[in-house]
Amino acid sequence: MFETIQGEGSFTGIPSVFVRLQGCPVGCPWCDTKHTWSLDDALVTTAHEVINKPQEDEQFFTTDENGLLSLFNDEGYVAKHVVITGGEPCMYDLRPLTTYLHDNGYTTQIETSGTYEVLCDPRTYVTVSPKINMKGGMEVLIGALERANEIKHPIAMQKHIDELDALLKDVSSLEGKQVCLQPISQQKRATELAVKTCIARNWRLSLQTHKYIGIE
């Protein structure tokens, strides 16, 4: 859990509190948060240890909605946009958490792989970054894409765009949804392909600006 600037997608530049939920079976090979994959009870520690650790590791803490908001206050967070990510946050029913946060003056955003049903408050902004043919063998659910406000797809080559096109054929409508292409690892070839495709289709380019400016 930490306060920073949202670096990707439609909310780029917005001060945000990131809450990373533990656990993910999807298995993306390029994942930069692999420390969130394991749900081993032996890794549970205190919130203080997790929030103040000097570097990322697999330890995590547990709390409820009220306890999480208390931690925001204890840490002096001023951002009012909460990004719920992971791991894979939609492994969990997020309706109690997202409703509680909205009712207490926050906006919420979920970042999910689309491999689980999205259970959240109707006011929550849902970003689906569809993870196709990953090691975990999980399918992207059309229901998750239907719920998405934003479909943000990491790409490195034309094959990845073709895979996205195949998914989008089954979505009833893209009206009101923002489609973003995000070059994997800021690769030059991937960036050029993303720019070209976004212009041709009137989609949006999503850059991992936090990596360019060197923040978490």
Residue 8 sits in a domain whose CATH number is 3.20.20.70
Tokens of 78: 């001023």
**Would you say residue 7 lies in a domain?**
yes
Which residues are annotated binding-site positions?
A: 5-7, 20, 24, 28, 30-33, 85, 87, 129-131
Domain that holds residue 129: 2-154
Which residues are annotated binding-site positions for [4Fe-4S] cluster?
A: 24, 28, 31
**Would you say residue 98 lies in a domain?**
yes
Report pLDDT for 216.
66
Report pLDDT for 184.
83
**Would you say residue 35 lies in a domain?**
yes
pLDDT digits (tens, 9 = 90+) for 61-120: 999 999 999 999 999 999 999 999 999 999 999 999 999 999 999 999 999 999 999 999
**pLDDT exceeds cutoff 90 at 188:** no
* Chain-centre distance for alpha carbon 50: 19
Q: How many domains does the chain have?
A: 1
Strand boundaries in 93-157, DSSP class E: 107-112, 125-128, 150-155
Which residues are annotated binding-site positions for S-adenosyl-L-methionine?
A: 30-32, 87, 129-131
The CA distance from 73 to 197, in Å, is 43
